[in-house]
Structure 1
Amino acid sequence: MPKTALVTGASSGLGAEYARRLAARGADVVLVARDSAALEAVAAQIRERHGVRAEIITADLTTPRQRAKVERRLTEPDRPIEVLVNNAGFGLPLDFERNDIEDEARHLALHVEAPMRLMHAALGPMLSRGHGRIVNVASVAAYTPRSTYGAAKRWVVEFSRWANAAYAPRGVTVTAVCPGFTHTNFHERMGLPPGKEGVSDWLWLDASDVVSQSLRDAARGKAVSIPSIRWKAITAVARVLPASVSAAVGRRGR
């Protein structure tokens, strides 16, 4: 039976790139996102190029009933999921006090509660088989005070570090991926057109490079993957800066 990977936020950006890259390696894929038309477009491309199965699940992961569809798929014994990629996410303006609190609550649910619940669903079957891989897409914002986005991504990093230590000896690795600014449609969805993010060109990464390196790190069992030498250096400096300084730096780029 071919291995199967489930990817959330798979309709575009890093999620679609993870799905394509895993399919190119021979994995069947289950694509999860809210936009069924966009999901089907990605799935059709994958089927045509790679000759693997590409299943779609249309779901808003902040809605319990819809998220439950994905949890059930992760636990199906006859169609096991070998790789889970928790990638779904969105950004908000950094001015927390001006943001709608319900938007902030959905933001927290998608970045923290959803990956926690999907990991919990996936872990049981993976541990019983003695193998599996979980990739949680975080951000270098985890190392820089950056409103609720940075706080949520810090949770992802710390939970992944603990989970990898706890479950890798039992055959299931957990890797938090911390890319820097990456060329996807993430910023455009926040209303920022290309070139208007206030970030120097040399800081930007290509999605294909982020996915390739992070999958290599996950295969090696690394708990945290920062897919760029320059961003490794930046995060190392950010960890020792005073919060007031790093928060000011973090306001650049949205």
Structure 2
Amino acid sequence: MSLRIVVCVKYVPDATGDRHFAGDLTLDREDVDGLLSELDEYAVEQALQVADAADEAEITVLTVGPEDAKDALRKALSMGADKGIHVEDDGLHGTDVFGTSLVLAKAVEKAGYDLVVCGMASTDGTMGVLPALLSERLGVPQVTLLSEVSVGGGVVRGRRDGDAASEQLEARLPAVVSVTDQSGEARYPSFKGIMAAKKKPVESWDLGDLGIEAGEVGLEGSWSKVEDAAARPARSAGTVVTDEGEGGRQLAEFLAGQKFI
């Protein structure tokens, strides 16, 4: 029986762009380019390695987001995933991580799965809690923050590296895992992979397809809310210390005045 792997990926604003809030204090995605979250590339890579080691496997990449989020799916497909699922609905605008975990759980169940692979966090929200929320909603074990992943005999195994020691963890399938940026460099899509990705199937689902009411997600259904935001103040001019024999003393006085020493 084929191993069904679902990789959850996110389309995020380019960190090098000029990011700001819209009028409703949600992120303005219209004025900044987006891309596949770098940390999710590691999840795609580990899913590909697990699939390569399996007798038979199929990788589905899943994303929730606006129309442009298909770009994230295409990147993952060009790396080698087999098909994509895009959940898009106007009612998703302003959804927080709790609502997103609901949508992903419903989509994963609808798609069918044995193993769900996530990145350790998104590069925009950086909360890192979605894999745990997803496993709770699915009612399956979670094995998170792994630097190494393997699957065999209906069990997923992995190594979690800490500051002082490493742990060897395992869980029966079905399960949810997340991988860190120490799990191995993600492969670069080849020209052949990019061309092949254009022909791979991508399904589009909305909230109705998943049996989710609009009030459960979006700004109305969010458990968290941004009450206020202000632009970061412009950086002030620095202090130049001209060294004419007293530079060390002036630097020490400046650092002491700022309570750095």
Q: Which has the higher helix share?
A: 1
Q: Flag the structure with more relative contact order, 1 or 2, with Cα contacts below 8 A and sequence separation at least 6.
A: 2
TM-score, length-normalised on structure 2?
0.38
Based on CA coordinates, which of the two structures has the bigger radius of gyration? 2
Q: Which has the higher strand share?
A: 2
TM-score, length-normalised on structure 1?
0.39
